Amino acid sequence: MHLTIATWNINSVRLRQAHLHQLAARLKPDVICLQETKVPDDLFPEAIASELGFPHLLKRGMKSYNGVAILSRLPLTLAEDTPDWCGKSDCRQISASVESPGGPVTIHDFYVPAGGDIPDRTANEKFAHKLDFLAETRAHFLKYKPRRAVLVGDLNIAPLEQDVWSHKQLLNVVSHTPVEVDALNSWRETGFHDAIRHFVPADQKLYTWWSYRNRDWAASNRGRRLDHIWVTPDLVPALHSHEVLREARSWEQPSDHVPLAVTLAL
DNA sequence: ATGGTGGATACTCCA
């Protein structure tokens, strides 16, 4: 069995429903994890899921900000026991499992706080929130010891030098500071492999996000790899292929993030 | 060094 899991920061699911058809056509995923849906659960455009051939839908949203959702061709079992990160109830994680021949695979869909502009936890409470969030997720997965799990999402950190357009120029820019990179690595090292870097060597540039604040995103190409797919070691032998849908940044009225996917041969 | 754009909401916050 092949299982393709896609992740995308859609930046408003109500505004970009049509793009989901393109995502499904290009990546042919079995599961789509979304972040920044920006809609309360009772206003989620549920019809889009069945239109796409994804009859199974789980969502955790709120008004205006954040929000995550999982659309699936296969039945989903919601993980009910996810923590309330930083006590904020701000809809940054939803997790579920799907059945596969070797047993269930758990999918964790995360939207990590962006962290504001100033990389200083005392001067900027959003940066403090980001670091606290990362410390809590690390502690949780240290205790939980994930198995047969895939963790995806907008983690809002580009950990490697080649994950940003200029390592030197971004060293003090939120998303690429050493303190964030260390925190993200400490979380990942609780039991995950970077599935995208399994396929793309660390010395090759790779981005999943380009700012809106650029006249010509493709020409300047000042991107960052903020979106990730991690798998537990027991799934590393199943890693079959990957795709980063760069063309999505050129879709009409695009998200500033592009979708990516990993296929597992289970 | 600065400001640039976009989404949701309601005259501002967040990215």
Q: Which residues constitute the domain of residue A157?
A: 2-265
How far apart are the C-alpha atoms of A36 and A13, rounded to whole Å?
Answer: 8
**H or E segment and range at residue A261:** strand A260-265
The verdict on whether residue A30 carries a ligand-binding annotation is no
Please give the average per-residue pLDDT across A81-92, as a whole number: 97
Helices A125-144 and A178-188 cross at an angle (nearest 10°) of 20
Q: What is the pLDDT of residues A10-44, one digit of tens each?
A: 999 999 999 999 999 999 999 999 999 999 999 99
CATH number at residue A69: 3.60.10.10
A111 is a catalytic site residue: yes
A31: closest CA among A85, A82, A83, A77?
A77
Domains held by chain A: number: 1
Q: What percent of chain A stands above pLDDT 90?
A: 99
Across A108-113, average pLDDT: 98
> Which pLDDT score is estimated for A45?
98
Question: Is A11's CB less than 7 Å from nucleic acid strand B?
Answer: yes
Mean pLDDT value across residues A53-82? 97
Distance A113 CA to B13 C1' (A): 14
Catalytic residue among A30, A109, A132, A154: A154
- Say which residue the tokens 């993030």 belong to: A257
- pLDDT tens for residues A130-172? 999 999 999 999 999 999 999 999 999 999 999 999 999 999 9
Residue A156 known to bind ligand: yes
pLDDT > 70 in chain A, percent: 100
Q: Whole-number mean pLDDT of chain A? A: 97
Nucleotide nearest to A215 (CA to C1'): B4
pLDDT at A101: 95
A113: nearest nucleotide, CA–C1' criterion: B15
What sign for the dihedral angle of Cα A35, A40, A41, A47?
Answer: negative
CA of A93 to C1' of B2 (A): 35
Model confidence band, residue A191 (pLDDT cutoffs 50, 70, 90):
very high
Looking at A19, A109, A111, A163, which residue is catalytic? A111
Give the model's pLDDT for residue A225: 98
Predicted local confidence at residue A186, as pLDDT: 98
Model confidence pTM above 0.85:
yes
- Is A207 catalytic? The answer is no
Does the nearest atom of strand B lie within 7 Å of A172's Cβ?
Answer: no
A213 contact to strand B (CB, 7 A limit): yes
The one-letter code for the residue type at A198 is H
Burial grade of A200 (CB within 10 A; 0-12, 13-18, 19 or more): middle
Query: Strand B closer than 7 Å to the CB of A113?
Result: yes
